Amino acid sequence: MTDPAAFYTAGYSLADRELSLKLGRWRELGARTKAAHAVALCGAPRSVVEIGCGEGALLAELARAWPQATFDGFELSEPAIELARARGIPRARRLEAFDGAHVPAADGAYELAVLSHVLEHVPDPAPLLAEAARVARRVLVEVPLEGNRSARRPAKRAEAERIGHLHAFDRAAVRALVAGAGLRVLGELGDPLPREHHAFFASSVGARLAASAKWALRAAVYKVTPAGGEKWFTVHYAVLCGPTREVGA
């Protein structure tokens, strides 16, 4: 990916309207799950910035979940920001394109910064995580854990590369990034995802049955042994981070 801005601009500017609408529904589904993770981990923040907000699907869900909060969103792709603005997200203030590296906000401007399915797309994720920690007291990171047997298959790696994934994280790698940014883990969760995610792209009855069976197996395995499940298949991992030392401590 030689030009990330062009890559993601193209992704939000598809000429195929039917495909564009379907991908929009896919992002809406993902946003509902991501928002549920945020609510489970983050309490009730009053000021939130999403770094890499795309077309605003997650911000819209968080605005419904956190009616007390105000929201800013920054994104590499200008067309995505235009779509986010068109949503009319309640209490959204700044929805702006940025350079992908420097958030145009003061130190400590927000209670919570959200990096949801962003760090796996960034060549060097450490500086962006540190930048999130600069502008917010707490940082919520979510990534797919793709350091597993299933995700290492050639077809899976090719698909991950096609959608811009540059890293295949496991839980230890994410925790190392968090520590390297001078943060500590305040809370975490893993999610093998609901059945709807697994079946979304299934186009026949047989494919939907197979997707449901895969979901049921993964959910059962992950309930019994999360660590074992993460070695075999991809789950989404959300981690809430804060400073290693509280101010005034």
DSSP code string of the chain: ---HHHHHHHHT--S-HHHHHHHHHHHHHHHHHHHHHHHHHH---SEEEEET-TTSHHHHHHHHH-TT-EEEEEES-HHHHHHHHHTT-TTEEEEEE--SS--SS-TT-EEEEEEES-GGGSSSHHHHHHHHHHHEEEEEEEEEE--STTTTSHHHHHHHHHTT------HHHHHHHHHHTTEEEEEEEEE---HHHHHTT--SHHHHHHHHHHHHHHHHHHHH-HHHHHHHS-EEEEEEEEESS-TT-
- Over the stretch 31-62, which tens digit does the pLDDT of each residue have? 999 999 999 999 999 999 999 999 999 999 99
More confident residue, 65 or 7: 65
- The predicted model gives 198-214 an average pLDDT of 93
Flag whether 62 is in a domain. Answer: yes
Domain count along the chain: 1
The C-alpha atoms of residue 177 and residue 127 are separated, in whole angstroms, by 10
Sort strands 235-243 and 136-145 into parallel, antiparallel or unpaired.
antiparallel
How confident is the model at residue 133, as a pLDDT?
97
Q: Which residues pair with 138 in a beta bridge?
A: 112
C-beta separation of 158 from 191 below 8 A: no
CATH number of the domain where residue 39 is located: 3.40.50.150
Flag whether 248 is in a domain. Answer: no
The C-alpha atoms of residue 39 and residue 221 are separated, in whole angstroms, by 25
Flag whether 141 is in a domain. Answer: yes
Flag whether 85 is in a domain. Answer: yes
Task: Supply 98's token pair.
Answer: 């940025």
The C-alpha atoms of residue 69 and residue 66 are separated, in whole angstroms, by 6
Query: What secondary structure, in 3-state letters, does 178-207 show?
Result: HHHCCEEEEEEEEECCCHHHHHCCCCCHHH
All residues at 6 or more sequence positions from 173 whose CB lies less than 8 Å from its CB, including other chains: 147, 167
Residue located via tokens 């927000």: 110
- Over the stretch 154-193, which tens digit does the pLDDT of each residue have? 999 999 999 999 999 999 999 999 999 999 999 999 999 9
Residue 249's pLDDT band (boundaries 50, 70, 90)?
very low
Domain ranges, residue 35: 4-192+233-243
Residue located via tokens 């564009």: 20
The yes-or-no verdict on residue 19 having pLDDT over 90 is no
The C-alpha atoms of residue 204 and residue 135 are separated, in whole angstroms, by 46
Flag whether 143 is in a domain. Answer: yes
Flag whether 79 is in a domain. Answer: yes
Average pLDDT, the chain: 93
Flag whether 212 is in a domain. Answer: no
Residue 3's pLDDT band (boundaries 50, 70, 90)?
low
Task: Supply 69's token pair.
Answer: 């909060």
- Over the stretch 55-93, which tens digit does the pLDDT of each residue have? 999 999 999 999 999 999 999 999 999 999 999 999 999
pTM value > 0.85 = yes
Flag whether 94 is in a domain. Answer: yes
